[in-house]
Chains A and B, each alone.
Chain A
Amino acid sequence: MSALFKASDIVSSAILIEENGYKFYRQVSADSRFYELKELTEFLAKEEKAHSEAFKKILKNLPPAEMMEAYPGEYQLYLKALAGDNIFTASKDPAGLARSFKKAEEIIDFGIGIEKDSIIFYEGLKETILKGELSIIEELISQERNHLLKLLQIKPNRTKA
């Protein structure tokens, strides 16, 4: 396994996650089976699109061939684990995935999972390659938290602690 890890790889993963998130929510919002999710998923799609654009700007501003050699190998492994494990970096057809769900609750649960994954991934980014873009990442994390809370609020049969 290469010890070198490009910052651009990680940011490209983030763009892919957001782009696929956008496609996923857009598909759900257009699906008449899930009319009750239309407003929320339209909002989420719009925000994920904006996040994708934010990461594209970050990618453009990265110094050429920035490497993560300075960072402990373990952190590279951690970010790789998060990026590799994210369904939206592996998925080639997020719209198809959205179509495969049969119930609104499945979509909500899935959305909760992907928002959590995004939050964890972006928290990881803060620690390493993107210190110069910290305020942007903080804002993105704040928005993903908001997404998570919105999804949790509409989840049926929520457990109360």
Chain B
Amino acid sequence: MIKYLADSEALKVAMNLEKDGIEFYTKAISLARDIKSKDMFLKLVEDEKQHYRRFKELHDSLKDSHLITSQVDEEVSDYLRALVSTGIFDINLITKNSFKGLSSKDAILVGIQAEKESILFYTEAIKNSENPKGKKAFVDILKEEKKHLISLSLRLRYLSRRPGSKMYI
């Protein structure tokens, strides 16, 4: 039995994370009422689309190969495989809820949660990956997801401080 999480599998999870992010942030744009939140969600969509494209290209190039080497850290790979197998990184479960009655703040909180899932996964995927291009993609995109978290967090803080601010989507 192959215990290791192959790069192609990890990239598939990454693609799903990005795809769910695109879907969620797209809904958030169309319903956001303040310009700055709208612009923030617009940028997030564009970034997640780029991420998806990059992961897809890599995944397609690796589809028929399993880069398993003796260098793989078994503990990291077992851990990552265990997490993936429980569906923990299915952010669709986080983002699928109805948007009716959701405020900008609620949407941002959901976004923060989704970004954390990505950060957690990519942090481990970097350690697990043996493919240099895959590893670099995870490293690069992890940096961007952290920036997303910062943007969302700062926006949330701003909206939370505004008196009576209930910008309903």
Q: How many B residues touch the partner, as a band? A: 20 to 34
A120 CA / B112 CA spacing, docked (Å): 13
Question: Secondary structure at chain A's binding surface: helix, strand, loop or mixed?
Answer: helix
Number of interface residues of A (CB under 8 A): 23
Asked whether A133 is an interface residue with its Cβ less than 8 Å from the other chain, the reply is no
Question: Which residues of B have CB within 8 Å of A155?
Answer: 86
In the complex where A145-B79, A152-B86, A161-B84 touch, is A81 in contact with B153 (Cβ < 8 A)? yes
Question: Which residues of A have CB within 8 Å of B154?
Answer: 77, 81
CB–CB A81/B150 < 8 A: yes
CB–CB B85/A120 < 8 A: no
Interface pick from B41-49, B57-65, B115-123: B115-123
List 14 additional A-B contacts (Cβ < 8 Å) besides A120-B120, A152-B82.
A78-B146, A78-B149, A81-B149, A82-B149, A84-B153, A84-B157, A85-B153, A119-B120, A119-B123, A123-B123, A152-B88, A159-B93, A160-B86, A161-B86
> Chain B residues in contact with chain A, CB under 8 A?
79, 82-88, 90, 93, 112, 116-117, 119-120, 123, 146-147, 149-150, 153-154, 157
Can you show 16 pairs from A to B with CB atoms below 8 A apart?
A74-B146, A74-B147, A77-B153, A78-B149, A81-B149, A84-B157, A116-B116, A116-B117, A117-B116, A120-B116, A120-B119, A120-B123, A145-B79, A149-B82, A152-B88, A161-B87
